[in-house]
Chain A
Amino acid sequence: MKRLFATFLLLIGLIGSMAQAGEDATSSLYPVIPKAAGAPHPEGNDFMRINHKNLLKHDRDLTMRLGDREVKYSLKECIACHAVNGPDAQPVSVKSEKHFCRVCHDYAAVKVDCFQCHNSKPDPDLVKQLTMLPVKDRELAEYLEGASQ
């Protein structure tokens, strides 16, 4: 019984020291998160890492149920900005381990259901469409206004 207890203590000690080592240096298992094309999120990456799902869920209801197309967070834009290119210089789909969403979701072992219906690759027409939408005009106007001040 004593031996068993000693082994138990030893195990706890081992796990404890492993955890400490993990805190000092990033684990070699931690994913290498691909860089996005656009400007960084003003909210910060930590905020987005925790809240992206809630933001998307809220805004999807606004867009789909009420037709609000000027929402701040749209999956379409996430996908366009966070596209990762494969060896053929084309954006990879979620089938590839390199896909932006998969990098973290594989690490966290959380299944993504979005791509059963949504395309995991950016929409080639998106740039064209975005320039058509009034929201972009407004953003541009705001930007120019800011620049002139």
Chain B
Amino acid sequence: MKLPALNTPLRDLSEVDRREFFKAGGAVATVALSSGVTLMAFGGEASANADPGKRWGMLIDVNKCTSDCNACVTACSKENGWSAEEGSETDAQWIRKVDLTHKQTGREVSLPMMCQHCEDAPCVDVCPTEASFKRPDGIVLVDKHACIGCRFCMMACPYKARSFIHEPLTDQKSNAPRGQGTVESCTLCVHRVDAGGQPACVDACGTTGNGAMLFGDLNDPESDISKALKKFNSIGLRDDLRLNPGVRYSNL
């Protein structure tokens, strides 16, 4: 699975007073980000955690997921500090449960839906300010410092994964800053992933849920998720759009 190079120019990095960073001393690692922009990191081992060699993804076994279970949604809202009132059309929803019935066979399935962290993300394509971006490890995020709230990305996302914040907020989680006038969606719990953990929904699904979610590096053939993907049939939602989502579903 090929990940295109990080194509977002980090405009601000070149303006910064680098003196501070030289003070740290130690080995110098230089990463060329795009023409004319260089990122410097100090201290021996690479200090940027988003590894371009990785691609984070998820596999959801729909057979294990049940419609009465909401563990993933509850865990996400607690972790990231959002809440959606039942039936509200405007409240933020980072993840939701969807129940489906096959029209012909009557088979009923239930599954969690969130940002699918597309490889060719339409939200990134349409964003006029480069606020929507993909990290080198495939996680798609919104830079709220740059988001102007135009909501193009909400229109472009085929999975209805993004929400706009209408009201002023207070008491946000320090790991998930969010504010009025910006768009947001599932961050794949990037703060947990960077600390070596896995998303809150996956944790909750494993402990209080039905153990239907698997998280890991799609590029590592030795990861549990890659082994499971190799063994079992799975699909990406709306595969016809060729977005190559990082979230895949089996037994759907």
Contact = CB atoms under 8 A, between A and B. Distances in A.
Asked whether A and B interact, the reply is yes
B25 interface: no
Contact of B13 (A58, A118, A122, A126): A58
A126 B174 contact: yes
Contacts of A66: 39, 48-50, 135-136
Interface string A61-79: 1101111111010001001
A65 B179 contact: no
B163 interface: no
A148 interface: no
A116 interface: yes
Interface residues of B, number: 45
Interface string B218-246: 00000000000000000000000000000
B135 A65 contact: yes
A135 to B, nearest CB: 9
Nearest to A114: B177
Interface stretch (B86-94, B121-129, B138-146): B138-146
Contacts, number: 92
A76 B135 contact: no
Contacts of B180: 116
Band of interface residues on A:
20 to 34
Contacts of A72: 20, 24
Interface of B: 6, 8, 10, 12-13, 15-17, 20, 24, 39, 41, 43, 47-50, 133, 135-137, 139, 141, 143-145, 168-175, 177-182, 190-191, 193-195
A4 to B, nearest CB: 48
Given A62-B39, A67-B194, A116-B181, 9 more contacts: A64-B143, A65-B10, A66-B39, A67-B193, A68-B47, A69-B191, A72-B20, A117-B177, A119-B174
B12 A61 contact: yes
Contact of B172 (A57, A65, A118): A118
B174 A67 contact: no
A20 interface: no
Nearest to B16: A58
Nearest to A122: B174
A64 B133 CA distance: 10
Contacts of B145: 60
A55 interface: yes
Given A72-B20, A117-B182, A65 B133 contact: yes
Contacts of A64: 141, 143
23 contacts: A55-B16, A55-B20, A57-B16, A58-B13, A61-B10, A64-B143, A65-B6, A65-B50, A67-B48, A67-B49, A67-B136, A67-B193, A67-B194, A69-B191, A76-B174, A93-B171, A116-B179, A117-B169, A117-B178, A117-B179, A119-B173, A121-B171, A133-B195
A132 interface: yes
